[in-house]
Structure 1
Amino acid sequence: MTTPTLTEPSTRTVVAQRVTDALEPKNWLLVITLAVGWHAAGWSGVAWGVVAGIFSGVLPILWIKWGERRKLWGDRHIRRRQDRLLVIPGIMVSVGSGIAVMVAFDAPRELLALVAAMMAALAAFLLVTTVWKISFHTAVPAGAVAVASLAFGWWALVAVPLVAIIGWSRLVLSAHTFAQVVAGAAAGAGIAAAVFMWLR
């Protein structure tokens, strides 16, 4: 067995990075918007889910990549807390624009409630980020699972272990502390569930 060198990441680190990349927030957002869209209005709801996914997942990642190319911040995971104070407002502009489009063209209420929950979480996390680097990587999937359990039933909670695995990956990569991982999951689930239930 070869011992990992300083320039060669361990198998554990490689797996953690793959988990982080494969289960990043954007992917959860695209899945939950399509799923809730289908639940709300069938195929027309799926079309609205695509719209919601573009404003909440696709445009934000394009914004992040734009800043990355110009070296305004690091990679798409935005590791520095200070950089997140620039990134989050841009994402909020995209999500807010999506809400405006959805309201203007009478999108399904349940899907609108989901996107509004995203905006509420972003606003709360922006405030927290001024002093602390809370985990978006656990917040988004935890919020998605919470919304899915309300929309589809308790069986959606089978996805909870995925949130734990993501948290593990963030710890292995030294991207967050344990408290930041747990707080992200708790706040993400709590805000998403409360706003979704209130507005749906």
Structure 2
Amino acid sequence: MLFDLKRFANFISWVINPVVVAPAVYTTIVLLGYRADPHNISYLMVLFLSSTIVPMLLIFGLKKIGKVSDYNITFREQRFLPLLVLVAINALGYEFMKHLDAPALLSGILLFNAVNMVFILLVTLQWKISIHLFTFTSSVALLFLQFGAVSLWLLLLVPLLMWSRIHLKAHNFMQTLIGGIVGFSVIFTELKWWTGL
């Protein structure tokens, strides 16, 4: 049997997916980086609800009522509403983090998730940036800020993710490249300034 490239590309796109990558990274940062903090599980729950659970329910609901055609929201025109809702959800999560007096890095994640969603939303009006690449490289930047250069080996997965998105015709080369570069550089700069690291 010939190797099914499309099936492999789909597998990569589902494994290195925003709703998979973000919770994995947040769990690593909170449970390893803040394991001595007695409120670490509360921080993790706010991050999960804001960045994973509510977005998944939102996309599932929009798919069910026909507002989006697929769970990856392939069509640019369908991204505006979910992105707008995600801005509000992450902003609300940031307020919860402030109430918990969370470490600056953790509150900053949700604050700049909201800010960057606005950026992606504005870009989406004219162009289709890769949210897969944006989320993955920004997640690597978070790990880099928390754990140092050892995290950067994960960037070796970037070409594979770019290939999968291009092979599936979800994006072209520039949409994946810009998504990856902007994702890493923007969140790194924002959180470096926010935390004073």
Report the Cα distance in structure 2 between the residues aligned to 1:164 and 1:40, rounded to whole angstroms. Answer: 31
**Residue matched to 1:99:** 94
**Residue matched to 2:19:** 26
CA shift digits 1:87-146 (9 cap, x unpaired): 100111111111111112212222112222222221111111110000001000100001
- 1:188-199 to structure 2, matched below 5 A, reads 188-199=183-194
Deviates most, 172-181 or 94-103 = 94-103
Report the Cα distance in structure 2 between the residues aligned to 1:32 and 1:50, rounded to whole angstroms. Answer: 13
- Paired residues in the alignment total 193
Taking structure 2 as the reference length, the TM-score comes to 0.92
Paired letter, 2:186: I
Deviation at 1:42, TM superposition (A): 3.4
Report the Cα distance in structure 1 between the residues aligned to 2:156 and 2:113, rounded to whole angstroms. Answer: 22
Paired letter, 1:42: A
In structure 1, list runs of 5 or more residues that go unmatched: 3-9
Deviation at 1:37, TM superposition (A): 2.0
Deviation at 1:41, TM superposition (A): 5.2
CA contact (8 A) 2:137 2:155 kept: yes
Is 1:171 aligned to residue 192 of structure 2? no
SS at match of 1:14: helix
| RMSD between aligned residues | 1.6
> Of residues 1, 4, 7 in structure 2, which corresponds to 1:14?
7
**Residue matched to 2:36:** 42
Report the Cα distance in structure 2 between the residues aligned to 1:164 and 1:103, rounded to whole angstroms. Answer: 37
Paired letter, 2:25: I
- 1:1-200 to structure 2, matched below 5 A, reads 11-38=4-31, 39-40=33-34, 42=36, 44-200=39-195
Report the Cα distance in structure 2 between the residues aligned to 1:42 and 1:35, rounded to whole angstroms. Answer: 14
Report the Cα distance in structure 1 between the residues aligned to 2:71 and 2:107, rounded to whole angstroms. Answer: 26
